[in-house]
Amino acid sequence: MTPSSMYEIKRRYELLEELRKELIKCSDEGDIILVEGKRDVSSLRSLGIHGIIKKVTHIPLLDLSEKLREMDRCVIILTDWDRRGNMLAEKISTDLEYMDVDVDTSIRNRFVSLVQKEIKDVESLDRHMKKMKDTVLQQY
């Protein structure tokens, strides 16, 4: 591994770690995280996120949107970054914004920019970050 590629991995890991801490802080402050499935929930839990995580599958989006509006919290959309996940994020975001719910898609967008070449889903985040951390630690 070249020094420049090692530097790139270390830098991306540091940015992912900052993003993980930001997500934990938002969750601890009461923001609601939306994911697609139970493996996504497991991945986020193993990354230290203990707040409310809701699965958007298996519930009609209108019902979900109304429940979220009643909760009066910021909603962080964290769907996968494949074609289906992108479409779902757009649909949910549009619906919630129409209902005057505070929506955050920036965290998802930043995760995508950092990992989309290696992984395509939320469920892989915990393993991916562990692998990156191990790579960085082996070099030092």
| pLDDT value at 79 more than 80 | yes
- Output the pLDDT for position 140: 66
The string of pLDDT tens digits covering residues 2-61 is 777 888 999 999 999 999 999 999 999 999 999 999 999 999 999 999 999 999 988 898
| Contact in structure between 104 and 60 (CB atoms under 8 Å) | no
Give dist(CA 32, CA 27) in Å, integer: 6
Q: Provide CATH code, domain 3-134.
A: 3.40.1360.10
| Contact in structure between 126 and 47 (CB atoms under 8 Å) | yes
Question: Hey, what are 109's tokens?
Answer: 């967008």
Boundaries of every domain in the chain: 3-134
CB burial of residue 87 (10 Å; 0-12, 13-18, 19+): exposed
